[in-house]
Amino acid sequence: MPRFPITGRRQLRLVSNQELYTLSFQAYNQFLQQNQVVNNSAQAATVKQVGSRLQAAIETYMRQKGLSEQLSGYRWEFNVVENQQVNAFCMPGGKVVVYTGILPVTQSETGLAVVMGHEIAHAIAEHGNERTSQGLLANGLLQAGSIVVDSNPSLARQIALQAAGVGTQLGMLAYGRKQESEADEIGLIMMAMAGYNPEESINFWQRMAAQNKGQEPPEFLSTHPSNQTRINDLKRLIPKTMQYYKGGKGGGSAAGAAGSRGK
Exactly one of 119, 126, 182, 200 is catalytic; which is it? 119
CA distance 100 to 84: 6
For residue 216, which of 207, 205, 227, 229 has the smallest C-alpha distance? 227
Question: Pairing mode, if any, of strands 77-81 and 95-99?
Answer: parallel
**119 noted as active-site residue:** yes
Determine the Cα angle at 122 with ends 58 and 116, to 5°.
65
Q: How far apart are CA 255 and CA 195, in angstroms?
A: 10
Question: Are the CB atoms for 139 and 77 separated by under 8 Å?
Answer: no
124, burial (CB in 10 Å: exposed 0-12, middle 13-18, buried 19+):
buried
- The residues assigned a catalytic role are 119
